[in-house]
Amino acid sequence: MISQSNRFYLLILLIFSCSHSFANEDQGGDSGLSLGVGIGIPYGILGVNAEYRPIDLIGITGCVGTAIIIGGMAKCVGASIYMPNAKKSLAPRLSVIYGSNGLLIADKDGDLEVSVHDGLSIGGGIVAGTAHHRVTLDLMIIISSEVFDEEDKLEAQGYEISGGALPAFMNRVKTSVGYRYVF
């Protein structure tokens, strides 16, 4: 699993590597359909995402991904509201997503328990790029997740939870980054 600091460095690398091509391409229109790959809640932890924007202000999204460690299926559905009159090259958005938003890794005397859990997440982010090539950056806050109930249950059974040293609020704040192709 990629640590928070490594996600940040990956994000910076993507922004700088794409900024030159974003500045030079024509800012044409789009059909409203886009497909992307990335890491984070909007991508099913690590996976693909499809979004359809029936109008400029609203996007309807779905994703399928995997939790790398267990090879389990992760999924999500949601909606985004884009800022009115935003440039197509830089579009701020607010998102609500229901689906896989928690990965739990617990250990008790070598007995490893790994599971993916669903819940509701909200967040904000930006979509930046050209008419056809875009990078997405989001900061998501987990509102609810089955992972927290499962974590309490496993701790009561004597399991040690991976990432337990983080402050409680940090377990609810997640970042995501992805690449999106707009048709």
Residue ranges of the chain whose pLDDT lies below 70? 1-30, 67-71, 163-170
pLDDT value at residue 59: 95
pLDDT value at residue 16: 41
Whole-model pTM? 0.76
Q: What is the pLDDT of residues 95-142, one digit of tens each?
A: 999 999 888 878 888 877 778 889 999 999 999 999 899 999 999 999
Q: In terms of Cα–Cα distance, which of 45, 147, 141 is closest to 106?
A: 147
The CATH code of domain 4-182 reads: 2.40.160.20
pLDDT value at residue 147: 86
Buried b (16+ CB within 10 A) or exposed e, 94-107: ebbbbbbbbbbbbe
- CA 30 centroid distance within chain: 23
Beta strands in the chain (DSSP E): 33-40, 45-55, 58-67, 72-82, 90-108, 111-129, 133-145, 160-161, 173-182
